[in-house]
Structure 1
Amino acid sequence: MARDHDGFDPEAPAQSEIGREMVDQSTGLGSVVAHMYRGELDREVNWRTRLDSTTNWAVTIIAGILAYAFSSEDVGHAIILVGIVIGVVFLVIEAGRFRRYDVFRSRVRSMQENLFANALDPSEGVEQRDWRRQLSEDYRRPTVKLSLQQALAHRLRRVYLPLLCGLLIVWLIRLTGADGSMIEAARVSGVPGLAVFAAVGLLYVTLFAIAFWPGQTDIAETSDEADRGDLDQTG
């Protein structure tokens, strides 16, 4: 049977059944783990709240910009481009926050799947064979597990891609109502309309590439499932 370093064997009854031990008898370790889990869950909820606040601010500000853009015919279409830029800024901010949220989410899920689930039903065993070593290493050397690209892909697929695509559609509709061709109507100050179209097109191609780059889909779907579980807990 394979063993980890220093003779640690996660499948040994005395070590793999730590969850059952916590249920069968009162132990000092069980009390410590319970407090640790409560603390990690609180930190996860706090970061989840920050994520929701960022999304709410992005939607509120963009809605205000759209309302102003259609409040008068004298308001230029450039204000919608400002809304797109603001949406991208909020996307980057939220991706950074999501990376930190994932640190605590992964710890909470590890304890739920391997400790508490095993305590309730030891017959199924643990989900991750070396979960205790992994959690220990995470506490010894905390690291952000998701790259910025992975976090951006998740938040784009979850929130920002539909929001930014909506802004793009509104911008195009606004241009169709202007006099002349759409390219001429897209002119902003001294910037030619063709250059504006090229910049906007490049931006959206980049966003779609980040969101649907091969290998990002599974990460986003896994995180979505975890998000739903977290919301069930905190709701």
Structure 2
Amino acid sequence: MDEDLSDSRLDRGDEEFAADIAGDSDALLEILPHFYRGEVSQANSAQDRIDRTTNWAITLLAALLSLVFSAPAMPAYLLLIAVGALAAFLSYEVRRYRFYDMYRSRVRIVQENVFANALSPEGAEHSKWREELGRDLRYPTFKVSLLEALSRRLRRIYGLLFVVVGVAWVAKVTLFTPERQWTEAAELPGVPGVVVAGVLGVVYLAIVALAVWPTERQAKGEIYGERVGEWKED
């Protein structure tokens, strides 16, 4: 019973300590830079993980392209392995991008409501930004949907990589195997080349559809909406 009372008093003391900081603007401004630097560091770490995933995807793609075109006898289906590998890297990167956007959104809410208002006192961007930020720290949530993250990574990076693989596959089964029909060069064991080409075409149509999917923007802190140089004009 005594332990329960002591724990309860400790909890109340913690709440009062935190409440004192929340009600004291000087104390709040003293801890806010530390919080801001921590979130910036988290966002930078998440960005670094994204970059490493992209670098591995590009490295693997370059290795497979070099292997496939190193000799005419190399089969074209190795490029289908590249498509699967890119899809796997994309799935990892989408998740990492969502974590990055979560940390970046916290950085942006401080920039919008503290630093921007300090430079130009026009009022906070969000009337309850402190409550929103506190709630997100207690119960972290992704700010960008899986579909939007997938679409963004396709448009920014992976769409071009998939195009490179597609063009390389077409070139391999046509220009680089003139002694055979393209349907023979494209076939897999037990699977006709026409079927392989049809499935690959469906995959690429799905990639295009996902890349241009018309969703409402949820990602935070992107550059958008202004003409280049417009921000400096009177």
> Which TM class, normalised by the smaller chain length?
0.7 to 0.9
The equivalent residue for 2:195 is 195
The equivalent residue for 1:174 is 172
The equivalent residue for 2:49 is 50
The equivalent residue for 1:161 is 159
Sequence identity (%)? 39
Post-superposition offset of 1:224: 4.4
Max radius of gyration: which structure? 2
2:68 and 2:82 map into 1 onto residues whose CA distance is 10
SS of 2:127's equivalent?
coil
Question: Per-residue displacement from partner, 1:152-194 (whole Å, max 9, x unpaired)?
Answer: 1010001000110111011101111223432332101221112
RMSD between aligned alpha carbons?
Answer: 2.0
SS of 1:225's equivalent?
coil
Unaligned runs of 5+ in 2: 1-21, 225-234
Rate the CA distance shift 1:223–1:199 in 2: closer, same or farther, 3 A: farther
Equivalent AA in structure 2 for residue 197 of structure 1: A
Post-superposition offset of 1:201: 1.2
- Bigger shift: residues 205-214 or 157-166: 205-214
- Contact 1:91/1:160 (<8 A) preserved: yes
The equivalent residue for 1:115 is 114
- Contact 1:157/1:211 (<8 A) preserved: yes
1:87 and 1:201 map into 2 onto residues whose CA distance is 16
The equivalent residue for 2:131 is 133
The equivalent residue for 1:31 is 30
The equivalent residue for 1:69 is 68
- Contact 2:49/2:96 (<8 A) preserved: yes
- Contact 2:83/2:162 (<8 A) preserved: yes
Post-superposition offset of 1:199: 1.6
- Contact 1:51/1:97 (<8 A) preserved: yes
Unaligned runs of 5+ in 1: 1-17, 227-235
1:34 and 1:107 map into 2 onto residues whose CA distance is 13
Equivalent AA in structure 2 for residue 132 of structure 1: R
1:119 and 1:74 map into 2 onto residues whose CA distance is 66
Question: Per-residue displacement from partner, 1:71-112 (whole Å, max 9, x unpaired)?
Answer: 111111111111111111111110010011111000001101
Equivalent AA in structure 2 for residue 203 of structure 1: V
- Contact 1:175/1:185 (<8 A) preserved: yes
Structure 1 residue runs of 4 or more that deviate by more than 4 Å after TM superposition: none
- Contact 1:154/1:219 (<8 A) preserved: no
Question: Per-residue displacement from partner, 1:175-226 (whole Å, max 9, x unpaired)?
Answer: 112234323321012211122112211211111111111126x457x66428
1:223 and 1:63 map into 2 onto residues whose CA distance is 32
Equivalent AA in structure 2 for residue 88 of structure 1: A
> What is the TM-score of this pair, normalised by structure 1?
0.79
Equivalent AA in structure 2 for residue 184 of structure 1: E
- Contact 1:69/1:75 (<8 A) preserved: yes
1:96 and 1:38 map into 2 onto residues whose CA distance is 23
